């Protein structure tokens, strides 16, 4: 394994440049240069645009140019290289689960264009597979708590995916891709003007047989391949004029192979499906009145899940059928007041409503405890002040209050002191509290393993952070972040009934570097170190160390080569777990991209280039754990117009 990692590091060291790429070719094929990156504004930290290095949070930004250069085809491919993030795979449908700073995915708030993607039943969705990369304009990430702005489930971080349709589409594109696992995809992005209105459309259709790992043995002692095939449709539309923008989306997953059931039994027959559609109307007017800006949004989403031809049950072996649906609606209004010298005061509030409906069960595992149809309502207010104490000092203070109808209330404050220590150094001292709401299953849903508890309290957390952003030179940017993240009132069902218990603390370090060696050669990387409590609350799948390295090299006119090396440290097992401990592993991905002319672009990408034998921990019912994908590849063509 160390030899493989050494080989991947050698690949990151380019040979002498054979030919210089033209500036226009570099701009179209390379990720953002260091000079461009330091000028980029983000809005996730305060709802208002500000320079990323001065944002009152630890923020990561990933642009469409970054995504294209790496060859990523899905949001999950993109997130794997973010400091503190580990994407683990679930045995059921090979569903990706995002962890951040050692906390499970229910502490990470995923949003698309500011709209939370969680639902009451299954968090991000029972068959959720991520989002196609072709729809993404940029991703803004808070590595750290975000409840003071965004409410529940943001204890460890916030991920906001901003789609191409959320802004005027300047470049239209069509593309085709084919590769391993009998995978094919086609996509379209187009923007234009109609009667003075900006119109945007994106669409992607894809199909794949998926990674088909050999499970040997499953819980019943059988050996076979897990069926993780799936088909996907993602359609999005926008219409904008003046201060208004209407967003609409439709997503559908068909013939989703679950591979194994939740108990670890191979299920070669199941083909499930889901669909959802959403509407959002945004109003953004920074000059609404003297000293006032106004922002408002109204949202509606409808989600449906079906088990298709049913899940295999543990005993006696039969088929279980489950259909469920959910309606979601939300309204938010906020104003930004700048009439006080040195202050930017934002006040706002809103309401969110979720309701399950259409629940149908046939042969449930617990006939005496059917899934109840429930609703959740959240009323909230928030206040935030960005105060310029002096030329080089800025203090951000915020407070949010949430009132839920099913488990009570939560108040979450934040404080952030940002000091422009020198022309090149920015220092940040951050404190914030956050919470995770008890889930629908924890409150109401009886399963074969757990009994719900309607009296649960929310999990709570407190985080201290010290961060430094240093522009060492015009070509080198460094970042260092130290934090202490403590979660309390943890929710666990390990005793049969869900209960609040104890606490769990993670101390961490995140180091980042980005070096623009030449206009045509860019290096980047980050290192994550975690010191986690030795506790039953520890997620055994999350490594304590992770290292990501990247090179983008325009080695000839119109050619760019991207190489990424990912190393993950060993993952320990809790006491009493009979399985063998999984050691460290490394993955190397590479993409070669060629721009033929102003219209045509070609690429070939290889994932897990060195064919590393990698595994994720899974249920104890799988003694040999869950194999990750072997070497695989794809080729694609894009046409810009």
Domains, the chain, with CATH or none: 2-640 (2.40.170.20)
Q: Is the pLDDT of residue 6 over 70?
A: no
Section 357-377 average pLDDT: 81
pLDDT of residue 8: 45
- List, for residues 292-314, the tens digit of each pLDDT value: 999 999 999 999 999 999 988 87
Q: What is the DSSP string of 42-81?
A: E-TTTSS-EEGGGSSS-EEEEEHHHHHHHT--BHHHHHTT
**Phi, psi (deg, nearest 5) at residue 331:** -140, 130
pLDDT of residue 1: 46
Cβ of 67: how many Cβ atoms within 10 Å? 22
Radius of gyration of the chain (CA): 24
What is the band of 371 on the pLDDT scale with cuts at 50, 70, 90? confident
**Phi, psi (deg, nearest 5) at residue 507:** -110, 135
- List, for residues 585-636, the tens digit of each pLDDT value: 999 999 999 999 999 999 999 999 999 999 998 878 888 899 999 999 999 9
**Phi, psi (deg, nearest 5) at residue 76:** -65, -35
- List, for residues 208-220, the tens digit of each pLDDT value: 999 999 999 998 8
- List, for residues 42-77, the tens digit of each pLDDT value: 999 988 888 888 899 999 999 999 999 999 999 999
Collapsing DSSP to helix, strand or coil, 25 comes out as helix
Task: Tell me if 379 sits within 8 A of 405, measured CB to CB.
Answer: no
Section 517-537 average pLDDT: 92
Check residues 28 and 625 and name the one with the higher pLDDT. 625
pLDDT of residue 552: 96
Section 92-110 average pLDDT: 94
Task: Tell me if 52 sits within 8 A of 32, measured CB to CB.
Answer: no
Torsion sign over Cα 134, 139, 144, 147: negative
Task: Tell me if 254 sits within 8 A of 230, measured CB to CB.
Answer: yes
Q: Cα(48)–Cα(51) distance, rounded to whole angstroms? A: 10
Q: Pick from 154, 92, 97, 83: which is nearest to 130 by CA?
A: 97
Tokens for 545?
A: 């160390």
Q: Strand runs (DSSP E) across 59-147, as ranges?
A: 59-63, 85-89, 96-100, 108-112, 115-116, 136-143
pLDDT of residue 563: 98
Q: Cα(65)–Cα(165) distance, rounded to whole angstroms? A: 16
Residue with tokens 């672009």: 601
Task: Tell me if 412 sits within 8 A of 434, measured CB to CB.
Answer: yes
What is the band of 37 on the pLDDT scale with cuts at 50, 70, 90? confident
pLDDT of residue 28: 58
What is the band of 494 on the pLDDT scale with cuts at 50, 70, 90? confident
What is the band of 580 on the pLDDT scale with cuts at 50, 70, 90? confident
pLDDT of residue 616: 92
Task: Tell me if 169 sits within 8 A of 190, measured CB to CB.
Answer: yes
Collapsing DSSP to helix, strand or coil, 134 comes out as helix
Residue with tokens 């008890």: 438
Task: Tell me if 251 sits within 8 A of 276, measured CB to CB.
Answer: yes
pLDDT of residue 21: 42
Q: Is the pLDDT of residue 581 over 90?
A: no
Q: Cα(467)–Cα(479) distance, rounded to whole angstroms? A: 7
Section 569-590 average pLDDT: 87
> How confident is the prediction for the chain on average, in pLDDT?
91
pLDDT of residue 23: 52
Beta-bridge partner residues of 190? 201
Section 514-523 average pLDDT: 95
265-268: long-range contacts, CB 8 A cutoff, minimum separation 24: 265/218, 265/219, 265/220, 265/222, 265/312, 265/314, 265/621, 266/215, 266/218, 266/220, 266/222, 266/224, 266/226, 266/312, 267/227, 267/311, 267/312, 268/224, 268/225, 268/227
493 to 102, 447, 450, 499, 509: CA distances (angstroms): 19, 11, 6, 6, 30
What is the band of 2 on the pLDDT scale with cuts at 50, 70, 90? very low
What percent of the chain has pLDDT above 70? 94
**DSSP secondary-structure letter at 496?**
S
* Biggest distance spanned by C-alpha atoms of the chain: 72
Q: Is the pLDDT of residue 144 over 50?
A: yes
Q: Which residues contact 100 (CB under 8 A, 6 or more apart)?
A: 84, 85, 86, 107, 108, 143, 156, 157
Section 148-154 average pLDDT: 96
DSSP H or E run through 507: strand 499-518
pLDDT of residue 619: 78
pLDDT of residue 369: 66
Q: Cα(253)–Cα(273) distance, rounded to whole angstroms? A: 5
Q: Cα(369)–Cα(441) distance, rounded to whole angstroms? A: 12
Q: What is the DSSP string of 416-445?
A: EEEE--SSSEEEEEEEEEEEEPPPHHHHH-
pLDDT of residue 577: 79
Task: Tell me if 406 sits within 8 A of 436, measured CB to CB.
Answer: no
DSSP H or E run through 149: helix 147-150
pLDDT of residue 445: 80
First to last CA, the chain: 45
Task: Tell me if 70 sits within 8 A of 63, measured CB to CB.
Answer: no
On whether the pTM is more than 0.85, the answer is: yes
Beta-bridge partner residues of 336? 293, 346
What is the band of 177 on the pLDDT scale with cuts at 50, 70, 90? very high
Cβ of 64: how many Cβ atoms within 10 Å? 20
- List, for residues 388-434, the tens digit of each pLDDT value: 999 999 999 999 999 999 999 999 999 999 999 999 999 999 999 99
What is the band of 19 on the pLDDT scale with cuts at 50, 70, 90? very low
């Amino acid at each position: 394994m160390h030899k493989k990692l050494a080989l991947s590091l050698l690949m990151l060291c380019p040979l002498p440049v054979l030919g210089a790429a033209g500036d226009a070719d570099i701009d179209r094929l390379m990720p953002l240069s260091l000079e461009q990156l330091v000028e980029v504004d983000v809005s996730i930290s305060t709802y208002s645009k500000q320079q990323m290095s001065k944002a009152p949070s630890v923020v990561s930004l990933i642009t469409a140019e970054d995504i294209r250069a790496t060859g990523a085809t899905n949001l999950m491919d993109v997130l794997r290289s973010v400091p503190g993030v580990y994407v683990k795979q679930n045995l059921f449908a090979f569903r990706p689960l995002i962890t951040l700073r050692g906390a499970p995915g229910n502490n990470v708030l995923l949003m698309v264009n500011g709209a939370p993607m969680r639902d009451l039943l299954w968090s991000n969705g029972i068959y959720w597979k991520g989002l196609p990369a072709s729809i993404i304009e940029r991703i803004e990430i808070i590595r750290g708590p975000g409840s003071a702005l965004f409410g529940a489930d943001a204890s460890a971080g916030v991920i906001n995916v901003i789609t191409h349709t959320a802004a005027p589409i300047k470049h239209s594109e069509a593309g085709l891709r084919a590769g391993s696992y009998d995978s094919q995809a086609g996509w379209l992005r187009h923007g234009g003007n109609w009667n003075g209105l900006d119109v945007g459309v994106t669409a992607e259709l894809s199909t794949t047989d998926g990674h088909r790992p050999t499970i040997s043995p499953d819980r019943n002692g059988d050996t076979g391949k897990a069926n993780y095939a799936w088909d996907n449709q993602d359609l999005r539309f926008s219409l904008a004029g003046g201060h208004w923008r209407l967003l609409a989306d439709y997503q559908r997953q068909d013939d989703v192979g679950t591979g194994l059931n939740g108990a670890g039994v191979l299920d070669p027959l199941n083909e499930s499906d889901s669909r959802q559609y959403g509407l959002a109307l945004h109003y953004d007017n920074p000059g609404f009145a003297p000293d006032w800006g106004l922002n408002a949004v109204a949202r509606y989403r409808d989600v449906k899940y079906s088990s298709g031809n049913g899940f295999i049950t543990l005993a006696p072996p039969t088929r279980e059928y489950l259909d469920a649906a959910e309606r979601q609606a939300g309204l938010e209004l906020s104003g930004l007041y700048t009439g006080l010298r040195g202050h930017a005061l934002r006040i706002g509030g809103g309401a969110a409503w979720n309701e399950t409906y259409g629940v149908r069960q046939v042969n449930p595992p617990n006939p005496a405890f059917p899934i109840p149809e429930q609703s959740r309502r959240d009323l909230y207010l928030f206040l935030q002040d960005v105060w310029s104490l002096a030329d080089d000092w800025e203090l951000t203070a915020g407070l949010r209050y949430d009132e839920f109808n099913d488990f009570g209330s939560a108040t979450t404050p934040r404080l952030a002191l940002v000091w422009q220590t020198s022309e090149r150094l920015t220092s940040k001292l951050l404190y914030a509290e956050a919470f995770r709401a008890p889930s629908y299953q924890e409150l109401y849903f009886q399963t074969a393993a757990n009994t719900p508890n309607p009296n649960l309290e929310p999990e709570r957390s407190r985080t201290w952070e010290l961060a430094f952003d240093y522009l060492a030179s015009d070509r080198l940017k460094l970042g260092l972040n130290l934090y202490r993240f403590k979660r309390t009132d943890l929710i666990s069902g390990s005793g049969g009934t869900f209960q609040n218990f104890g606490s769990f603390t993670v101390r961490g370090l995140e180091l980042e570097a980005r070096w623009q060696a030449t206009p045509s050669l860019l290096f980047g990387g980050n290192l994550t170190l975690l010191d986690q409590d030795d506790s039953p609350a520890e997620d055994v799948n999350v490594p304590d160390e992770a290292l990501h390295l990247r090179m983008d090299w325009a080695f000839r006119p119109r050619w760019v080569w991207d190489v990424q090396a990912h190393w993950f440290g060993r993952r320990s097992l809790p006491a009493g777990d009979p399985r063998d401990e999984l050691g460290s592993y490394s993955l190397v991905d590479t993409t070669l991209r060629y721009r033929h002319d102003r219209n045509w672009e070609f690429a070939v990408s290889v994932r897990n280039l060195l064919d590393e034998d990698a595994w994720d921990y899974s249920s104890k019912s799988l003694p040999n754990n869950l194999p990750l994908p072997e070497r695989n590849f794809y080729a694609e063509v894009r046409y810009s117009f």
